[in-house]
Chain A
Amino acid sequence: MMMSQTALKTPLIQFEKVAVDYGRKADRIRALEPTDLAVGEGDFVALVGPSGCGKSTLLKLAAELLKPTEGNIFFAGRELGAKPVRVGMAFQSSTLLPWMSIRDNVMLPLKIVPPFRQHYRAKRRGEYRDKVDALLAQVGLDGFADSYPWQLSGGMQQRANLCRALIHEPDLLLLDEPFGALDQFTREELWGTLQALWMATTTTVILVTHDLREAAYLANRICIMSPRPGRILEDRTVPFARPRTVELTYEPEFAATIQHLRSMIVHKPDTSRGDKP
């Protein structure tokens, strides 16, 4: 029910025949075939596909780190870039700054992103500090605000990384394999953390991952992408009710969903463009 409602809303971010080439002239490589993708406000979309299929390229486009070679991107109905979009981003490596405490690390976006930055000097010891500490508590890092990144385990660093991506209340949260370097148990724990954060804020999320279980656990929609040059092969809604649990991922229906998605990636040859390798 909820899923179909989010799908009906006007898309928050919309890719229209967006293609990307890397390199110049002779050694130009097409990274992304003309792609259409619409993500509704408050939705949680996962992009899954083999390495080098253009998943991260799509994220970089959404973050305005990259300009499309062809096509248009719209944000809330207007051309992307016309108005500043508040974006939070997290990668596989946590990239926390080693000279700052966890609290200062998480507070960094408030120092940079407007309108927070205008009040940074006045509020960093009061309101912002409380805001950061509350978010840290939400991901189970209460008591670690004054620690330094290297004193934390990999999983805890990734929790702090998520906090840094969310502290400035972004319209769009872009996650590029955020749990890729973690062990299985820590990863599953963090799925729960991310799900809880998303349900509490209902920010819009685009998640890039290799892991089908991760995608099916976390996302409302899964987009399967083809090998380079990337294209979206299938856009599938994940029907399971929230909050989802790790136990759910061992249920038959869940396994069937994953099996289906897996077959899309592994077995389906490029039927529509059979002439190209």
Chain B
Amino acid sequence: MMDAIRRRAASISLILGVFVLWEVACIVFGISSLILPRPSEILTTLYNRAPGIWPHAQQTLTTTLTGFAIGVVVGLILGALIGSSRLAYDTAYPLLVGISSIPKVAVVPIFVLWFGAGTVPAVLTAMIICIFPIVVNVATGLATVEPELEDVMKSMKASKLDILWNVALPRAMPYFFASLKVSVTLAFVGSVVAETVASNRGVGNMMMIASASFNVPLVFAGLFVLATMGVSLYVIFSLIERRVVGWAMRKDGLA
């Protein structure tokens, strides 16, 4: 318990230390705020421009979460399909790797071509970028059920659905939640990239416009907003993970 508190205190002081160092370095070396604004400047900008930033943040958050939600559903279904049969796993895996190795930024223009600039390409980019980790993790979790366990289930004449529901899916849950944490941060990458390329709303777009007018503190304020949202979602999914699949992290929680 004391250990946990000490660890947390250490990581908080590291973060604060980085900001202090940043602030001091900017003052000591006289770095112009056109190149690297001081954290205090960024926070002031954030505070003063909050009413203007807020709608953009909201836009990015809803886009990301929508894309992420669709990505989770699609990823879970694809993962379950691929992971529940050896044949499907071997057949579909190369295709999946191929698709995932395409840089997602390169897909944005295509989405814009199909759906026009705006929210839809951002949602789709967020979705497509977060599907792959989910599919792979769920499929792996399902495909690696111990053969003995499968024999025990089959000897009870359990149907495929029985095995999937009672054994394979719960067993895949730790893999699934691990992928959710990765995917939710990736989803931000997707939506922001799409916003910078083709949108007139969202934090990505706001940063583009700010950098075009050399409002560097506002660019950094945008970064702060994105970081805060990303970290918050990561933390939320970590907490859910600990509640749902705590059994897989036995030493920390349950005992």
A interface list, Cβ under 8 A from B: 60, 63-65, 84, 87-93, 95, 97-99, 108-109, 111-113, 148, 150-151, 164-165, 168, 174
Contact = CB atoms under 8 A, between A and B. Distances in A.
Contact of B158 (A95, A112, A164, A165): A112
Contact of B248 (A84, A98, A111): A98
A148 B247 contact: yes
Contacts of B247: 98-99, 148
Interface string B229-255: 000000000000000010110100011
A112 B167 contact: no
Given A99-B247, A148-B254, A63 B166 contact: no
A99 B155 contact: no
Nearest to B255: A151
Contact of B152 (A64, A89, A99): A89
B165 to A, nearest CB: 10
Chain B's interface: helix, strand, loop or mixed, by majority? Answer: helix
Given A98-B248, A109-B156, A93 B170 contact: no
A97 B155 contact: no
Given A97-B167, A97-B170, A165-B152, 16 more contacts: A60-B151, A64-B155, A65-B151, A88-B155, A89-B152, A91-B151, A93-B146, A95-B146, A95-B149, A97-B171, A98-B250, A99-B173, A112-B166, A148-B250, A151-B255, A168-B156
A113 B155 CA distance: 10
Contacts of A60: 151
B148 interface: yes
B90 interface: no
A93 B146 CA distance: 10
Contacts of B149: 95, 97
B155 A89 contact: yes
A148 B250 CA distance: 10
Interface in B122-170: 146, 148-149, 151-158, 162, 166-167, 170
Interface of B: 146, 148-149, 151-158, 162, 166-167, 170-171, 173, 245, 247-248, 250, 254-255
B250 A150 contact: yes
Given A97-B167, A99-B170, A148-B247, A112 B155 contact: no
A174 B157 contact: no
A95 B152 contact: yes
Contacts of A95: 146, 148-149, 152
Nearest to A90: B152
Nearest to A92: B148
Contacts of B155: 63-65, 87-89, 174
29 contacts: A60-B151, A63-B151, A63-B154, A65-B151, A84-B157, A87-B155, A87-B156, A89-B152, A91-B148, A91-B151, A93-B146, A93-B148, A95-B146, A95-B149, A97-B149, A98-B247, A99-B170, A99-B171, A99-B245, A99-B247, A112-B153, A112-B157, A112-B162, A112-B166, A113-B156, A148-B247, A148-B254, A165-B152, A168-B156
A95 to B, nearest CB: 4
**A65, A92, A95, most chain B CB atoms within 10 A:** A95
A243 B90 CA distance: 52
Contacts of A63: 151, 154-155
B183 to A, nearest CB: 22
Q: Counting chain B CB atoms within 10 Å of each CB, which of A98, A164, A168 scores highest?
A: A98
Contacts of A164: 152
A108 B166 contact: yes
Nearest to A165: B152
A8 B234 CA distance: 68
Contacts of A111: 166
B143 to A, nearest CB: 17
Nearest to B148: A91
Nearest to B151: A65
Contacts of B152: 89-91, 95, 164-165
A97 B153 CA distance: 12
A63 B158 CA distance: 12
Contact of A65 (B146, B154, B250): B154
Contacts of B171: 97, 99
A112 B160 CA distance: 12
A145 to B, nearest CB: 16
A81 B157 CA distance: 11
